[in-house]
Amino acid sequence: MIPRTAFSTLSCPDWSFQDLIRNGTAFGFDGVEIRLLQRETDLLSLPDFQPSQLKDRRRELADAGFQICGLSSSVQLQSPDKFERQHQIETGRRYLELAVELGAGFVRVFGDVLQPTEHGSVPVEDVSPEQRSRTVSLVAEGLNQLGELAERQAIEVLIETHGDFSNTVVMEETMRQVSSPAAGVLWDTHHPWRFFDEELSASFQRLRPWIRHTHWKDSVRRRPASQGEESPADDAEAAATKAHDLMSGHRHADYVLFRSGEFPAQECMRLLKEDGYSGWHCLEWEKMWHPEIESPELALPLFPPKIRELWKAAGPLATGRANARLREGKAPADYTDGFGGK
């Protein structure tokens, strides 16, 4: 088996749909995860994705032998407001329909933060047990609602380890309340490790029953001033503001080219491969939110060969366990929650 590689269009905010197919295939990728096109994050509003255009998009993908692995929405499921929740679920439903039309396998959604404030959020450790329980239950309820819709269309809805839900204890609490087999986790392998100082093995053990897709990136505690591209401070501030406007849980990291930083990618690959993971390995090079990092033309081509190297060095692939577990939406018999429980 050869690992499948993709890139998020956060990596290439100025590219058109045709650019991402042409460059993606030239750079050795098997597919793409669409978060935005030409800086527009609302995929439902894009001219390229209107009903009259979808036949052409499918033809372009088929002609290139290229896939859309998933659509990454801005849908958030934590709001207690009835009307806001209805809006978010409806947006999620429309994304699921678009994903089906484009042959994508999933739609990404957020839990974002446990307790928002006017200028951000309360740190996870300071959120009261009652508030935490309420938000977790709301997010789980939203996942079940969207999961029911996704299951009817034979695709999946995935919540990302993002914001406060990068804390995998919080994510595990959430997923244990989710009954839909079409709902799973997009494990951004970097976020729990960098933002909550989690050991990879602990993160993986908690998320293991639900991992359907993975994001990869690399960072250092402080980015050397000589690396990256020149970017006016105003541009970086505007990008950060836009990210926070969309996602209160967005956090800053000093990103570097994949495998040139501190992220323990080989350990991560070993954990996944030993468990029989057969999903996508997607580079999320956050150029949209971090204009100072290197261009997609430099960053993206490095990823597919490095993933293949990691895969080869990770040892034999376990078979027969992970796929059955994920499709059934169940934990395997040997699964424990990391605290001695099942």
One-letter amino acid for residue 121 of the chain: S
Q: What is the pLDDT of residues 219-269, one digit of tens each?
A: 998 755 555 565 555 676 676 566 555 556 667 789 999 999 999 999 999
DSSP helix/strand/coil, 72: strand
Q: Rounded to an integer, what distance in angstroms lies between the CA atom of residue 20 and that of residue 55?
A: 17
Q: Give the count of beta carbons closer than 10 Å to the beta carbon of residue 330.
A: 12
Beta strands in the chain (DSSP E): 4-8, 31-34, 67-76, 106-110, 116-117, 120-121, 156-160, 183-188, 211-216, 219-220, 254-255, 280-283
User: HSE-up of 247 (CA within 13 Å, CB side)?
Assistant: 23
Residue-range domain boundaries for the chain: 4-328
Residue 327 has pLDDT above 70, yes or no: no
Give the tens place of pLDDT for each residue, 272-314.
999 999 999 999 999 999 999 999 999 999 999 999 999 999 9
Q: How buried is residue 234: exposed, middle or buried, by Cβ count under 10 Å (0-12/13-18/19+)?
A: exposed
Q: Is the dihedral of CA 268, 270, 276, 277 positive or negative?
A: positive
Residues in the chain, total: 342
181's CB contacts (< 8 A; 6+ apart) are: 147, 151, 327, 328, 329, 330
Residue 234 pLDDT:
64
Residue 68 · residue 95 · CB < 8 Å: no
Maximum Cα–Cα distance for the chain, whole Å? 54
> What pLDDT, in 10s, does the model give residues 12-42?
999 999 999 999 999 999 999 999 999 999 9
Mean pLDDT of the 80-93 span: 97
Look over the chain and give the mean of its residue pLDDT values, rounded to a whole number.
89
DSSP string, 146-165: HHHHHHHTT-EEEEES-GGG
Three-state secondary structure call for residue 211: strand
The pLDDT assigned to 242 comes to 60
Instruction: Provide the pLDDT for residue 6.
Output: 98
Could you name the CATH architecture of 4-328? Alpha-Beta Barrel (3.20)
